Structure 1
């Protein structure tokens, strides 16, 4: 078909004209973090220059230099770049025929790291026969002379040649550099290209034809400024720019490694980043929150979500006693590498094993920084999504509740006595005798992980999990949450000489497998049952009494796991009901000594501790008779028994002090009393609940941090105390937190130091973030290595401009949105992408910004644009992550380290194992094939075809025009229009049959071609 030939040509054009970028330093960072430390610890003793000099070299193999690794040894090459499965080194590490190291097999995590390193191409910065010891060290005084470690300088925009006096401050820096090198900048881009550029840069979505037309027809000088203001105010701004930060933060929702366990609630960090960017949170606060949000805002989900930054990195799911300490230091290393790269633009991870080879970062600085996180571990917490709103609702509920309680008390004081006395005299004697078992109605219900509610008949029912993300799983499956549940049920009684307690458990269709337990198979494991009796009444002075229970009956219990296990005080044992689940059950306990009861009544606190989840339906009863019946039938509510007990203890009269409690017991026998009591109980039951959610974040844990010689956990050299990087310290005395009372949290102190412009790392912090903004507007930063501002990184192409931007950020209160606006209003940003031959001879790399550099859209933006073309993009925000078949924005896609989405990785979405400052941008045939053959792309082409379907008022030519406007923000040229119309006609003729159906099918082919254009996936 002609369609295939045209499509092939278009896709070939895509491959030829793409603007590829050079790879970033991801592989080198991975080598420094994961490979070099292992080589130093386990390999250099036998395979290094030092081993050769000591006559201990084995197999003529040198592993202490890149050249040595590539040369191999007596057995031949040890690695095949990009092919770990074919590499002898991996076989040796697995002890597959060859055993390295001979002292013992390394962990599977380390072997996996080496395999990944080889698959990355075995990047290795070591030169020649480099020994383990660094070649040189830079002194702190010398290091402080490096441009990025100096205080912020006051820089004025330069004066430029005539004709550019009206240029913005940014343009004056840019033009001055161009004039120095004899370059002439391009003129402005067309308005169509400019608005498309702005939309993708700020919100990551294409403009609609209507938005384009409104801008093109707006002749005011402020037209583009109005577009920028609108986009910065859009909620989509945070979604687009969060994606850049999430790369730097190595965000994912699983632990990585072979188990790659899912992290419930990790998405809250992503949502926090989006919200923070949308609100234009000052960047210094943005940094402090990620370092210590859980400390700055304790018990607030926003604080917990923010500090999820620290623990977003990979973490093994299988840890042994032998590896736990090494993995802990690996986690600290991950935190420092990410903070260093993402926030400070430094390769701090290189210093775990030795002094930094190039930057002025001593070994001790690394461990001083690590010590700030000594007590920081990872885990989940369950917190309120909006604690302020919940507190406000609770306060309102309490205010509304007080008049109802007051009305009940007034009724109890004034109306109840005469109504009760009338009933007592006429009706009490007619009531049946109390049976052996009297149901106890709960007064209050509490649980660690569940909501509980009262049902009629005194039944306590499970009413949902406190943590909605918690999974109730089948027997034998492990959960990544705490494995205990505790209930506390409060009961009141005025009975005397209580002899026995009964515990009924009910099956119900609402429970897993009908229950009565809440585990996936209906089972439960009751580890402990404890009942404590305390006196009722404010004036009571009797001490609480823990009741000694003796199990006398259980309807069902698993073999070797009897009811008595719940009373033995051993946390390892439990009353287990699994084999006989799905049925009603009951247990009876006798009191070793009958409970005489307190004068003003008795409060029974029933504490139940479960392994895993609890019970879904339960009820408590008491008896005052010896040897009560053990099973169903002889059970009634406690009201009548309580009335008789109160009267018997008080000379057949109702004491004033018990009038209010009596309303509860008398309600079933009196309509007016029931109304008052029901009003209070119904309002109590309607109390607002917090909207709880699990969040993956930092939790208390860890242990002291020690200096490690060569980074080895078995080679400790003394405890490290929290401190800062000396080269960036501008205070008096040592680079450590100030001593205060109470002591400041070390992570808070670190955040304060990092954001301090006068005494701390603030100048570097500002330079790094403004460089990131510039990078994502121009395709490359003023510093070409966004995660490395050290000696090995690139120097800025426009150092004065970078300094001015950093100072401007600080002057503006660290707000990012105003800086976006200044950058985008510059002539440098708005110029066209055309290439001038004379300029190209002088500056082929466009380092001096004489034209706009076209760049491909990120993977997420390509997917979002395809959804926008189909008109089925769901713009709902926040919440749990989605699978790739859901048409929401790609920032909400689930990020599981072992299951990255193929379409995303095809277009260079990175693997989130470490901080990514710059994505690579490849151009490979498989990308064109993916666009041509992807069912998703085809589906969106079909939807786009429906949106442009011609009509009487919009003929086929208008449909082609509209499709071009939607896809590439411009009308087709006359040549393009004629060719595409001819293509549609050819396709329609080839389809045959009904003309309308053939037209629809032909338009789908046309739309598919359009979505495969190079122009569709590029900003120019």
Structure 2
């Protein structure tokens, strides 16, 4: 069988072990788990305080609070509310003008108009795409030992941004990532975009130094099963690779039925043949009329010819060194010296890297449009069941199929034709699937409210947490599907609820009953994620570039680790001013700013980030050249505003924290200015720095005063960046 040949194992007889009566009983019991039952639309419950709810969401929340004897806190004020909405929807702070306009707007639909404006902003897609990229484990390199560049990963990133901005129906969003290459397309441009979407399956970390081809193939398949099951289903199906799942009713047969689907597709990620890469792969060439941006600029004829000559010269040199190595081996002169063989290998790698550079261009020097992704193999294969997950212990071959416990009793689970990716894509995104809509509704709720209805967003299985509001989760899932799987409508529905708009304040009576705020009687104070902190600093400093260059720096490096580290070091030496989503994410070398503030491991699917508060963050805000530079730019921007010095300090406060300073804040600002001025004032010292005379004395004093003012403002702006209020939403 082809699967056995692919794995390098002795072909085994086809065998799909018949399920026992005991197992069928276990599957039937497993289907009773709350998450494996199809969501139904529950009627919103009756509440005693009928004036409090603004919609169905609020009725579910209030009913639970009333049952527990908890009273919700008051609504948030206008200033914290617009700041909350702005960061949650577009990941950027509101401007002082936007805040003032919202505070002054007394219209009944004022909040709705702000929400609609933010949802329509192109910044929305940049914000919400980053949430999905966390679960898609997006990165621009392969990670692990070799950590080679993925020069075209950025196409998938941009596709996700465009999908959220266009409000692509979520069911279609899922289908395209699993089987976009197999879906019907409306022309070359649509076909190209659908192929780019399958980059979801190609982006994962890869052990390119793995010597055993069979092990490498199965590790890639395992990673694909792991990411699609956690991201789209909220299940840990990869736990069944070596044995039946310890907790969920998922067997090894289920796992290897899925494995056959992914083995029947070729994963194309575009790392060239070189010393650190034992498993090179090509890329998918997209139609030239697809209208997609190129990764590199066109080559002039002279430059193209120079590159061709370089490839030929390197090829000739590699051939010469290969002959020398073979001769040395035949003569036995270098039996204990690997130098000739290493020189030949390095020369071959250099030639391959140059050839990969040349391969990015057509004969006329125009760039080819390439993408990562997956394509079906010419013949589908079924996977052997590997005992203990060992490629050297294949048992019976398992037909390609779907997970039994998630299929209806009469629903076919075996794949009749093709790889099965298309079947898998439609099964995942089907309305009858009990998980897809629930998992996404919970992800959206988590990002907006600070905690999921299910606290384990990537695990809806038996060991996951049960929902705090199961009826509300089903309500959100069903209305999500009824609204055409519109993510924007789901977000709008949640942020317009009273539950979302509550103040983030303490209430002793409610806290005594529900200290963890599981009933949602208040809004939790939330720390901004790493990207929002960095982007907010850039925004208030007037340095944020909202029109990033298409592509990625990784697309423009040679295909070797040295070139990748040059990208990393360049980002460290001269930080870019683009939004953080466009920064290159090199596995294990993430940008320092992001890493300090809990950027997730880009090798793992992550639906919930940590939000730590550790000393290294304070030290970073105090000492980072990037933060200091932004504080200086912020101060320079404020200096150009009209008004007195005291008024400019107050404007900086408003720009940084999203509210006007109160009396206590003004007193603190005045104390800061006085203290800073007192510590900085003093007579000049040193040779030639005596007291100036006449007009020069007045000029010098004026210059010294202006210098103290500038230094005070820079220090103040940096202090604003370091405040907890800047980094948190109330």
Normalised by the length of structure 1, the TM-score is 0.58
The corresponding residue for 1:880 is 551
Please give the secondary structure, in 2, of the residue aligned with 1:829: coil
Residues 523 and 959 (structure 1), Cα distance of their counterparts in 2 relative to 1, 3 Å cut: same
Please give the secondary structure, in 2, of the residue aligned with 1:698: strand
Residues 611 and 240 (structure 1), Cα distance of their counterparts in 2 relative to 1, 3 Å cut: closer
The corresponding residue for 1:334 is 223
Deviations 1:219-254 (A, max 9, x none): 001001000001110111111111111110111111
1:747 aligns with 2:638: no
* Count of aligned positions: 622
| Aligned-partner Cα distance in 2 for 1:372–1:811 | 30
Q: How does 1:899-914 map to 2 (within 5 A)?
A: 899-914=589-604
Per the TM alignment, residue 695 of structure 1 is displaced from its structure 2 partner at its CA by 1.6
Residues 515 and 851 (structure 1), Cα distance of their counterparts in 2 relative to 1, 3 Å cut: closer
Residues 343 and 958 (structure 1), Cα distance of their counterparts in 2 relative to 1, 3 Å cut: same
| Aligned-partner Cα distance in 1 for 2:620–2:483 | 45
The corresponding residue for 2:181 is 294
Deviations 1:409-453 (A, max 9, x none): xxxxxxxxxxxxxxxxxxxxxxxxxxxxxxxxxxxxxxxxxxxxx
The corresponding residue for 2:310 is 519
1:813 aligns with 2:703: no
The answer (yes or no) to whether the contact 2:192–2:290 under 8 Å persists in 1 is no
Per the TM alignment, residue 518 of structure 1 is displaced from its structure 2 partner at its CA by 3.0
Per the TM alignment, residue 909 of structure 1 is displaced from its structure 2 partner at its CA by 0.4
Per the TM alignment, residue 961 of structure 1 is displaced from its structure 2 partner at its CA by 1.9
Deviations 1:444-500 (A, max 9, x none): xxxxxxxxxxxxxxxxxxxxxx9855999xxxxxxxxxxxxxxxxxxxxxxxxxxxx
Deviations 1:490-511 (A, max 9, x none): xxxxxxxxxxxxxxxxxx9945
Gaps of 5+ in 1: 1-135, 391-465, 473-507, 528-556, 562-578, 580-609, 617-686
The corresponding residue for 1:891 is 581
Per the TM alignment, residue 941 of structure 1 is displaced from its structure 2 partner at its CA by 0.8
The corresponding residue for 1:387 is 289
Per the TM alignment, residue 696 of structure 1 is displaced from its structure 2 partner at its CA by 2.1
The corresponding residue for 1:1019 is 729
The answer (yes or no) to whether the contact 2:382–2:400 under 8 Å persists in 1 is no
| Aligned-partner Cα distance in 2 for 1:940–1:186 | 37
The corresponding residue for 1:959 is 648
1:310 aligns with 2:201: yes
| Aligned-partner Cα distance in 2 for 1:199–1:347 | 34
| Aligned-partner Cα distance in 2 for 1:516–1:961 | 57
The corresponding residue for 1:52 is none
Q: How does 1:119-198 map to 2 (within 5 A)?
A: 139-164=26-51, 167-198=54-85
Higher strand share goes to which structure? 1
Match 1:249 to one of 136, 141, 156: 136
Residues 689 and 749 (structure 1), Cα distance of their counterparts in 2 relative to 1, 3 Å cut: farther
| Aligned-partner Cα distance in 2 for 1:812–1:773 | 15
The answer (yes or no) to whether the contact 1:518–1:524 under 8 Å persists in 2 is no
Deviations 1:555-603 (A, max 9, x none): xx98999xxxxxxxxxxxxxxxxx9xxxxxxxxxxxxxxxxxxxxxxxx
Please give the secondary structure, in 1, of the residue aligned with 2:217: helix
1:695 aligns with 2:371: yes
| Aligned-partner Cα distance in 2 for 1:231–1:371 | 43
| Aligned-partner Cα distance in 1 for 2:451–2:260 | 35
Match 2:493 to one of 815, 822, 841: 822
The answer (yes or no) to whether the contact 1:515–1:522 under 8 Å persists in 2 is no
| Aligned-partner Cα distance in 2 for 1:318–1:844 | 50
Please give the secondary structure, in 2, of the residue aligned with 1:718: strand
Residues 518 and 470 (structure 1), Cα distance of their counterparts in 2 relative to 1, 3 Å cut: farther
| Aligned-partner Cα distance in 1 for 2:664–2:66 | 39
The answer (yes or no) to whether the contact 2:429–2:436 under 8 Å persists in 1 is yes
Per the TM alignment, residue 700 of structure 1 is displaced from its structure 2 partner at its CA by 5.1
Please give the secondary structure, in 1, of the residue aligned with 2:92: coil
Residues 613 and 824 (structure 1), Cα distance of their counterparts in 2 relative to 1, 3 Å cut: closer
The corresponding residue for 1:371 is 260
The answer (yes or no) to whether the contact 2:241–2:252 under 8 Å persists in 1 is yes
The answer (yes or no) to whether the contact 2:530–2:593 under 8 Å persists in 1 is yes
Per the TM alignment, residue 980 of structure 1 is displaced from its structure 2 partner at its CA by 1.3
| Aligned-partner Cα distance in 2 for 1:611–1:902 | 29
1:987 aligns with 2:676: yes
Q: How does 1:97-108 map to 2 (within 5 A)?
A: none
| Aligned-partner Cα distance in 2 for 1:611–1:211 | 51
1:217 aligns with 2:104: yes
In our comparison, the structure showing a higher alpha carbon Rg is: 1
Per the TM alignment, residue 975 of structure 1 is displaced from its structure 2 partner at its CA by 1.8
Per the TM alignment, residue 517 of structure 1 is displaced from its structure 2 partner at its CA by 4.1
Normalised by the length of structure 2, the TM-score is 0.80
The corresponding residue for 1:1009 is 719
The corresponding residue for 1:832 is 503
Per the TM alignment, residue 163 of structure 1 is displaced from its structure 2 partner at its CA by 3.8
Per the TM alignment, residue 296 of structure 1 is displaced from its structure 2 partner at its CA by 2.1
Higher helix share goes to which structure? 2
Residues 217 and 143 (structure 1), Cα distance of their counterparts in 2 relative to 1, 3 Å cut: same
RMSD after superposition = 3.3
The corresponding residue for 1:869 is 540
The corresponding residue for 2:234 is 345
| Aligned-partner Cα distance in 1 for 2:353–2:721 | 55
Please give the secondary structure, in 2, of the residue aligned with 1:692: coil
Deviations 1:868-922 (A, max 9, x none): 1210100114622353611000011111113122221111101111211111111
| Aligned-partner Cα distance in 2 for 1:1010–1:611 | 47
Per the TM alignment, residue 170 of structure 1 is displaced from its structure 2 partner at its CA by 0.3
Per the TM alignment, residue 318 of structure 1 is displaced from its structure 2 partner at its CA by 1.6
| Aligned-partner Cα distance in 1 for 2:493–2:165 | 18
| Aligned-partner Cα distance in 1 for 2:307–2:643 | 65
Please give the secondary structure, in 1, of the residue aligned with 2:137: coil
Gaps of 5+ in 2: 1-22, 271-282, 324-346, 554-570, 682-700
Deviations 1:265-310 (A, max 9, x none): 0111111100001100000000001101122268743122211111
Deviations 1:489-542 (A, max 9, x none): xxxxxxxxxxxxxxxxxxx99458x85943268556599xxxxxxxxxxxxxxx
The answer (yes or no) to whether the contact 2:45–2:60 under 8 Å persists in 1 is yes
The corresponding residue for 1:77 is none
| Aligned-partner Cα distance in 2 for 1:967–1:190 | 18
The answer (yes or no) to whether the contact 1:878–1:892 under 8 Å persists in 2 is no
| Aligned-partner Cα distance in 2 for 1:172–1:269 | 39
Residues 350 and 865 (structure 1), Cα distance of their counterparts in 2 relative to 1, 3 Å cut: same
| Aligned-partner Cα distance in 2 for 1:471–1:717 | 52
